Amino acid sequence: MFTRVDLDQGTSHWLAWRADGIGASEAAAIMGENPWKSRQRLLRDKIAARQNGGRSGGFANAAMARGTALEPLARAAYVRETGKHVEPACLVSTRHSWLRASLDGIDIAARHVTEIKCGEKVHAETAKNGVPPKYYLGQLQHILAVTGYDQIDFWCWLPERTPQLVTIVRDEAYIDRMLDAEARFWDDVLGG
């Protein structure tokens, strides 16, 4: 279903690789489920990124920077809590070369994948409702589309808070709709 790509997330090579495909974090905007970014805005950003070696002019706020800094601690806590040994990885689908994912944690041999979130709002909402916020649905199903796996663990972690672990199952009907929408989006990127 996928090939592992030898990249370190956050590097210039990784940014250029991301610009040449659709990543999991972009799925919600393509599906119209991202409250902060529209499909049209993502299209402009993606075209700009492809023209600028991966740099789109997008922003990173303090909460995003904090989440990135906490991610290794959150992954270590996940491994301790669950006994599932996962590591970050970049994957590309063998079915669609534009279908990509930069994973927070995967154990390929065990067919296990994890998405980590370290934000206050997402932690509070997941703790309150027992499910991830709906604007993460696209990201989670995109990861399952890339991996071909049947489920993904959604791990919300903050220091000195009770971790939130929710297992999300594959939704084939959603994935079919998403892949159609992403293929049309990618055609628009290439045409831009």
User: What pLDDT does 59 receive?
Assistant: 54
**Could you tell me where the DSSP H helices lie in 130-171?**
137-147
pLDDT given at position 140: 98
Q: What are phi and psi of 19, to 5 degrees?
A: -65, -25
| Mean pLDDT value of segment 132-141 | 98
| pLDDT greater than 80 at residue 3 | yes
Residue 155 pLDDT exceeds 80: yes
Q: What's the chain's average pLDDT?
A: 95
Strand spans (E) along the chain: 2-5, 87-93, 100-107, 112-117, 151-156, 164-169
Query: Would the pTM count as exceeding 0.75?
Result: yes
User: Which pLDDT score, from 0 to 100, does residue 61 have?
Assistant: 74
Tens-place pLDDT, residues 54-88: 876 555 678 778 888 999 999 999 999 999 999 99
Length of the chain: 192
- Helices (H) and strands (E) counted in the chain, each on its own, are 7, 6
Provide φ and ψ at 97, rounded to 5°.
Answer: -65, -20
Residue 32 is predicted with a pLDDT of 98
pLDDT of residue 137 exceeding 60, the answer is yes
d(CA 8, CA 87): 12
Q: What is the pLDDT of residue 83?
A: 97
Q: Are strands 87-93 and 2-5 parallel, antiparallel or unpaired?
A: antiparallel
